[in-house]
Amino acid sequence: MNRLINLLKKLYDNGQGLEDLVFKTKSGKQINTDVLKCAWLYQRGKSKGRTYTYPGVATELTEQGEIKYLKPYSTRHTFISIQANAGSDLKLLADSCGNSVDIIIEHYLDTSRNVTLKDI
């Protein structure tokens, strides 16, 4: 998490406002799932009647044996789970990831279903 925070600080040191996109397309627009798929998995292109496939970062690192392949959703799920179970502010986490606190508690937080409240 500290590496991400340092990266974001570095990116924002160039005068970006809080509402500006940090990660964006080459044309400055918001990244969508099609753009992410190309960067993550592969991109196809045509030139002189031939079709080429360019590996995405996850595909290339997997083929090199550097990482075990994960879908983009898996990395999101892992991030939310780690943050929630490490005691992060659930409201901030939910807002940051586009979830509700209830969804984070239900799907990402490791809670024992057998725990009961203590008598007071």
Mean pLDDT along residues 85-89: 89
CB 16 within 8 A of CB 22: yes
Is residue 113's pLDDT more than 60? no
Structure confidence at residue 112 as a pLDDT band (50, 70, 90): low
The letter for the amino acid at 4 is L
Which of 20, 16, 57 is CA-nearest to residue 36? 57
Whether the predicted pLDDT of 96 surpasses 70: yes
* pLDDT score at 118: 66
Give residue 90's pLDDT.
92
Alpha-carbon torsion 64, 1, 112, 108, what sign?
Answer: negative
Tens of pLDDT, residue by residue over 33-74, are: 888 888 888 888 888 889 888 888 888 989 999 988 878 788
Helix (H, G, I), strand (E, B) or coil at 41: coil
Residue 23 has pLDDT above 60, yes or no: yes
pLDDT at residue 103 in the model = 93
- Where are the domains positioned within the chain? 19-68, 70-111
Q: CB 84: neighbour CB atoms within 10 A?
A: 23
